[in-house]
Homo-oligomer: A and B are copies of this chain.
Amino acid sequence: MTPLPFSPGADTDPDHVETPIGFLDLARARANARKVASYARAHGLAWRPHIKTHKSRTVARIQLEAGARGLTVATLREAEVMSEVTPDLLLAYPPVGAAKLERLLRLPDDVDLKVALDAREVLEPLARAAAHAGRTVGVLVEMDMGLRRVGVQDPDALVALARAAASTEGVAFRGILFYPGHIRMSEGEQTPHLTAVAGRLSEALEALTAVRLEPEIVSGGSTPTLWRSHEIPGMTEIRSGSCIFFDREALHIGVAAPEDLAYTVLATIVSTAVPGRAVVDAGSKALANELRADRGFGVLLDHPDVVVSSLSEEHGVLDLGGSAWRPVIGERVRIVPNHVCVSVNLQDRLLASDAGTFSILPIEGRGRGPWIA
């Protein structure tokens, strides 16, 4: 690409920085990390947060400093970027295909690598590639706990795959992993679902114990069920990722309070021509198209009676019908997105606020390739 003939924008003043841009409150992120790490410690759980939420080395270091055991990643780029921050990495995604295996096995030698998978067709090429590279990759067998996305379906399949992992050169059976992503309701409604997960996990652990394949790691957890993680006996760690920033969905289900929100999108009013509405420069390419029924695509941090009622790619339409606030063109607002992870993924960089000072944070793990570095 021909270099662009412009100097880098170094403006970090939130009143003048070009919008839209992700806005990060580092003090709140630190407080969230401490709170989650403290909860986990109190219940004898490790916290290995999924960094898909932030993809930032700075934020990963905050998590590790608060007491996170290691980090969870989904992509090879995330793994590469985070291998410079911690040697304890879990790839919670099946590495399928020679290109991904090659990158995986080029991770620095000091990385204690664990991979989640649910099939021999993933295990066997991984084991061959690892053996060829002279490495041993830890395997967590992924179980389906009701989300019906990935994961072995029953204890027999779990035992068969665990045995294969335990007996194949290049890999080692380290434990099991699940993601109860089907439990998206508020705390009060979670009980029967948590009981069902605990029941399935108990069966799984019994089946493994019966064949003397005790798991070292039993990795579970999600942000919606975060504060009830201790109700699943046998789990050794949680991976909750979006709890570092939280989002409107977390507020809605009650897992976070407004003062926990660490991420918003800073945007500028660009039109007030249509009566009862105003338009900001954050659309689906900044907030992400994440509609929640009757609640729109996001809400203004400082005007909680104003929601983003419709989105196009570069326009967010604010519905002023329920508010006395009348914005003017050029005014800045901060928008709480419904789903933080996909909004961060749309930013080039973040404007970070820390004790009254502002800086620009890169999002090093964004994108897919080594080719961007």
Return the chain B residue nearest A286 by Cβ.
Answer: B368
A98 contacts chain B at the CB level, 8 A cutoff: yes
**Cα(A227)–Cα(B210), bound, Å:** 68
Whether B271 lies near A150 (C-beta < 8 A) is yes
A355 contacts chain B at the CB level, 8 A cutoff: no
Q: Which residues of B contact A189 (CB under 8 A)?
A: none
A residues engaging B (CB < 8 A)?
Answer: 1-9, 11, 16-21, 52, 74-76, 80-81, 84, 93-94, 96-100, 103, 106, 108, 118-119, 121-122, 142, 144, 148-153, 157, 181, 268-275, 277, 279, 281, 284-285, 288-290, 310, 312-315, 317, 328-330, 341-342, 345-346, 348-349, 362, 364, 367-373
Given contacts A4-B80, A9-B369, A370-B6, contact A149 B329 (CB under 8 A): no
Q: Which residues of B contact A274 (CB under 8 A)?
A: 144, 148-151, 153
Return the chain B residue nearest A179 by Cβ.
Answer: B312
Whether A313 lies near B9 (C-beta < 8 A) is no
**Cα(A362)–Cα(B162), bound, Å:** 42
Interface centre among A52, A96, A151 (most CB of B within 10 A): A96
Given contacts A75-B314, A273-B152, A362-B1, contact A121 B330 (CB under 8 A): yes
Whether A118 lies near B284 (C-beta < 8 A) is no
Whether A97 lies near B18 (C-beta < 8 A) is yes
Whether B370 lies near A9 (C-beta < 8 A) is yes
Whether B345 lies near A372 (C-beta < 8 A) is no
**Cα(A349)–Cα(B368), bound, Å:** 10
Given contacts A149-B315, A271-B150, contact A284 B342 (CB under 8 A): yes
Return the chain B residue nearest A316 by Cβ.
Answer: B149
Interface centre among A6, A75, A80 (most CB of B within 10 A): A6
Given contacts A274-B144, A274-B151, contact A369 B96 (CB under 8 A): no
Return the chain B residue nearest A81 by Cβ.
Answer: B4
Whether A94 lies near B144 (C-beta < 8 A) is no
Minimum distance in angstroms from A106 CB to a CB of chain B: 6
